[in-house]
């Protein structure tokens, strides 16, 4: 654990009148003697210097020649702890990974194995970096990163009844707004006083779905004025859509009132959905992001070798355009997450697990822009939305100064918006929907359902724990360009109305539990997205 956190170092530097490059701060913070390293930097930096650069810090701490007079735009990889060796660490094979080509957008992305002949690191997480003589050269000034909808520090809910009322009202209001323009809706309370046979429409939350004795479906919709029953006849095309309904999602229905005005027969059903005319934004230059999740450091099954290969590959030429690394939760295995989990722990202390994760993070290039959100194995509240890690954990996970935000959050990289969500609700979507609409083998299809419902975790009170807040942070207000989840440990991607949905795999081989339920994880893959074209290639490191 660093003695001096980056935040403290920045404070200290600014109080003495210096600005510092982010990486310079990370470099000081990552020293075991960070406190005295900071003192030395402060003593030896000329008083008239405005910015303390990475090169300054290196020259002061390691005695390497200073580049003060020639401040290059490019930065060498920070974590090269061993001299580069002349051996190839890059992908050696290509293959294909099955993906959903329904929209014809992604076909046969290449899979490269990052297999290398060398043994992995020295066992304590410090990876010898092989670059084959290649040095990353990036221009951080070209990067643009913005975070939206990070609710860290914004939590107001206390779990009381009125908080639940508030969060559901907010959901109905905001998702309802996407539907009200499409139907001539009426409040539930006024529908029953309309004459029998009238054409009616309503926007509401799904309260209940049940089949009738004669095989029709009864869907109860609720709004702020009450509830009204809608009948979907079994011979109608909409029966197919009834299978997709989850409780608490917001939809609109249109139909004809029965003679006694006690029920309406459904003619049309509408979801908030992603418009078919949706056109994703792309970056103005060729730059890539690696989208991963579920590292599970601390588990017996954490695949350190695969991670080392991934980290080493990032230092090589084929990865030179990868400038962003997004990690969608489950950094560590955690403790007490599932029954008997302790029998499969390599590291039993949660802080030690984060320490080890941080060591593994150090192995990736120091110039990478890293964004991470927590998952259900992480040491933050389990209920969603999950705030980003607390200060203590941020201090531990300080390598390369990652941006730590809530689950979910939206990160915008050079104009491309990426909705990051760990993915616990995917278990529920997969359990509730027919296999052809959502399954562990095609996790991206479960993601399509969330996009269609424009909600991260529609169903309340099931598997996914929700924390009521004043605002429903789980509403997908704006259509993202990319939707990134993890959790189910399966790799799958495809496009839904031109939104790229990617469920990243994991870095943990099959656990006993997964074996018992026949989950065969996709471990050791890194999907890489071209931000200028939204094309995906998958790198394999296992
Ligand atoms: O989740 C990995 C996947 O495995 C996810 O689909 C949940 C499922 N899983 C794993 N262990 C259990 C237990 N014990 N009960 C139910 N479901 C489980 P992760 O969040 O990485 O554990
Ligand atoms: Fe996981
Ligand atoms: Zn998980």
Pocket of ligand 1 (CB under 6 A): 294, 330, 338, 376-377, 427, 487-489, 513-514, 519
Q: According to the model, what pLDDT value does residue 268 have? A: 95
Q: Which residue has the tokens 């920070």?
A: 78
pLDDT reported for residue 33? 80
pLDDT band at 419 (very low <50, low <70, confident <90, very high): very high
Residue 101 structure tokens = 């080509």
* Inter-CA distances, 171 with 25, 150, 408, 422, Å: 41, 17, 16, 20
Residue that has been written with the tokens 């005005």 in this structure: 261
- For residues 429 and 464, the answer to whether their CB atoms sit within 8 Å is no
User: In DSSP terms, which residues pair with 202 in a beta bridge?
Assistant: 253
Which single residue is written with the structure tokens 């997480």? 125
Q: Provide, rounded to the nearest whole percent, the portion of the chain with pLDDT above 90.
A: 67
Which atom of ligand 1 lies at the shortest distance from residue 430's CA? 6
Residue 150 Cα to ligand 3 middle (Å)? 19
314 and 79 Cβ atoms separated by less than 8 Å: no
Tell how far the Cα of 337 is from the centroid of ligand 1, in angstroms. 9
Phi, psi angles (nearest 5°) of residue 478: -105, 145
- The yes-or-no verdict on residue 401 having pLDDT over 60 is yes
Furthest CA-CA distance within the chain? 89
Q: Return the pLDDT at 384.
A: 95
Place of tokens 């709004």: 223
Distance 531 CA to ligand 3 centre (A): 26
Query: Whole-angstrom Cα distance, residue 503 to residue 441?
Result: 11
More confident residue, 407 or 162: 407
What is the model's pTM?
0.80
Over residues 329-351, the pLDDT tens digits come to 999 999 999 888 888 999 999 99
Compute, in angstroms, the gap from residue 424 CA to the centroid of ligand 1: 9
SS3 341: helix
Sign of CA dihedral 3, 30, 412, 114: negative
CB-CB neighbours of 412 under 10 Å: 16
- State phi, psi for 228 to the nearest 5 degrees: -140, 140
Burial 111-123 (b: 16+ CB within 10 A, else e): bbbbbbeeebbee
Residue nearest atom 16 of ligand 1, based on CA coordinates: 338
Substitution site in 488, 491, 508 for ligand 1 pocket (most atoms within 8 Å of beta carbon): 488
pLDDT digits (tens, 9 = 90+) for 4-61: 466 667 667 666 666 666 677 777 877 778 888 888 888 888 766 666 777 788 888 8
Distance CA 111, CA 95 (A): 5
Q: Which DSSP helix (H) or strand (E) runs through 191?
A: helix 188-191
231 and 266 in contact (C-beta within 8 Å)? yes
Could you tell me where the beta strands, DSSP code E, fall in 336-385? 369-373
Peptide bond into 385 cis (omega under 30): yes
Question: pLDDT confidence of 417, banded at 50, 70, 90?
Answer: very high
Asked if pLDDT for residue 124 goes beyond 80, the answer is no
Task: Note the pLDDT of residue 348.
Answer: 95
Whether 488 and 427 have beta carbons less than 8 Å apart is answered as yes
* Burial bucket for residue 427 (CB in 10 Å: 0-12, 13-18, 19+): middle
Q: Cα 470 from chain centroid?
A: 23
């Amino acid at each position: 654990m660093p003695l001096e956190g980056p935040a403290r170092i920045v404070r200290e530097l600014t109080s003495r009148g210096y600005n510092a490059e982010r990486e310079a701060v990370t470099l000081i913070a990552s020293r075991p003697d960070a406190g005295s390293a900071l003192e030395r930097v402060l003593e030896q930096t000329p008083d008239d210097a405005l910015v303390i650069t990475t090169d300054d810090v290196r020259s002061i701490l390691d005695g390497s020649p200073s580049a003060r007079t020639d401040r290059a735009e490019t930065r060498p990889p920070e974590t090269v702890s061993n001299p580069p060796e002349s051996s190839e660490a890059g992908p050696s094979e290509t293959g294909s990974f099955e993906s959903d080509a329904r929209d014809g957008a992604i076909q046969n992305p290449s899979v490269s194995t990052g297999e290398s002949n060398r043994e992995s690191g020295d066992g304590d997480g410090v990876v010898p970096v092989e670059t084959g003589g290649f040095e990353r050269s990036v221009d951080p000034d070209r990067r643009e990163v913005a975070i939206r909808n990070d609710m860290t520090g914004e939590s107001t809910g206390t779990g009381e009844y009125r908080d639940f009322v508030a969060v559901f009202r907010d959901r109905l209001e905001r998702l309802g707004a996407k539907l009200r323009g499409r139907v001539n809706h009426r409040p539930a309370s006024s529908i029953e006083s309309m004459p029998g046979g009238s054409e009616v429409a309503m926007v509401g939350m799904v309260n209940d779905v049940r089949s009738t004795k004669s095989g029709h479906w009864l869907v109860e919709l609720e709004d702020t004025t009450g509830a009204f029953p809608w009948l979907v006849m079994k011979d109608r095309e909409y029966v197919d859509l009834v299978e997709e309904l989850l409780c608490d999602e917001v939809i609109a229905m249109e139909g004809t009132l029965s003679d006694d005005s006690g029920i309406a027969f459904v003619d049309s059903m509408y979801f908030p959905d992603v418009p078919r005319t949706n056109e994703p934004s792309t970056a103005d230059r060729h730059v890539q992001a690696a989208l991963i999740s579920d590292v599970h450091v601390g588990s017996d099954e954490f695949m350190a070798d695969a991670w080392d290969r991934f980290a080493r590959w990032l230092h090589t030429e084929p990865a030179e355009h990868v400038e962003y690394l997004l990690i969608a939760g489950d950094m560590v295995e955690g403790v007490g997450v599932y029954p008997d989990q302790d029998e499969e722990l390599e590291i039993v202390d949660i802080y030690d697990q984060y320490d080890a994760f941080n060591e593994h993070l150090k192995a990736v290039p120091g110039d990478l822009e890293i964004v991470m959100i927590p998952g259900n194995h992480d040491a933050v509240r389990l209920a969603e939305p999950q705030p980003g890690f607390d200060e203590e954990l941020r201090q531990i996970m300080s390598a390369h100064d990652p941006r730590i935000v809530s689950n979910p959050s939206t990160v915008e990289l050079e104009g491309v918006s990426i909705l990051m969500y760990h993915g616990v609700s995917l278990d529920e979507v997969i359990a509730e929907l027919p296999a052809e609409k959502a399954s562990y083998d095609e996790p991206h299809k479960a993601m399509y359902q969330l996009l269609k419902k424009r909600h991260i975790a529609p169903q309340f009170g099931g598997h996914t724990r929700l924390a009521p807040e004043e605002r429903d942070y789980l509403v997908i207000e704006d259509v993202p360009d990319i939707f990134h989840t993890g959790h189910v440990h399966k790799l799958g991607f495809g496009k839904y109305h031109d939104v790229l949905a990617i469920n990243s795999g994991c870095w943990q081989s099959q656990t006993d539990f997964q074996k018992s339920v026949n989950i065969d994880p996709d471990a050791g893959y890194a999907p890489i997205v071209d931000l200028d074209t939204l094309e995906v290639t998958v790198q394999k490191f296992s």
